[in-house]
Amino acid sequence: MRDHGAVTALQRLDDIIPYQGQVIGIGLGGSEAQYPARDFATVFREARQKGFHLVAHAGEAAGPQSIWEAIEALHVERIGHGVRASEDPALVNYLQLYQIPLEICPTSNLKTRVVKEFASHPLHDYYRRGLLVTINSDDPSMFATTITEEFWALSQHPGYGWEDIKQLTLNAVQAAFIDEAEKSRLLGIVNQYWSQII
């Protein structure tokens, strides 16, 4: 949690070292505007050196600069949310070029009023432009949703058909923190399943 500070974050990193293998990555959440990502650069550098995967919530409660900091100061592999990247065309282009996964959480974004309505969610533009977007539930107990419900809501939106749901599922596999052999296996399963539907 950003709000607990970098010293606490370093201590928590030390706490999980014995569980490496069960814990595969670290994430940064909390108040983006009050506690910028750059304050946690040392924590993320140490975590990367120890072999952990790196994620940060960014571009939700704060603007594009928060995403840039997560990328440049923390060297994250995925961005939680990232919806406000749309305010910076250069950032959107960067995310598309380098295929940095965005963990998009539509219901959460609507309930926190980061996005006013589903029809205007940046997800739609990101997806059409070829960004590596995935569909997520954020905190299911807090936002009363599941991955299934998120996909169902998306399938009811004009412009999304079965091929799009399939592609978003493939995106999730591509963004997963698994080795290439397991990724290839899962991609095969997804393609085989969808070949029976589409």
- Residues forming the active site: 60
CA distance 130 to 170: 13
At 5, list the tokens. 């500070």
CA-wise closest residue to 171 among 130, 124, 142, 143: 130
Q: Are 48 and 77 in contact (CB under 8 A)?
A: no
CA 85 to chain centre: 12
Contacts 24+ apart (CB under 8 A), 135-141: 135/104, 135/106, 135/168, 135/172, 136/103, 136/104, 136/105, 137/105, 137/107, 137/108, 138/105, 138/107, 138/108, 139/108
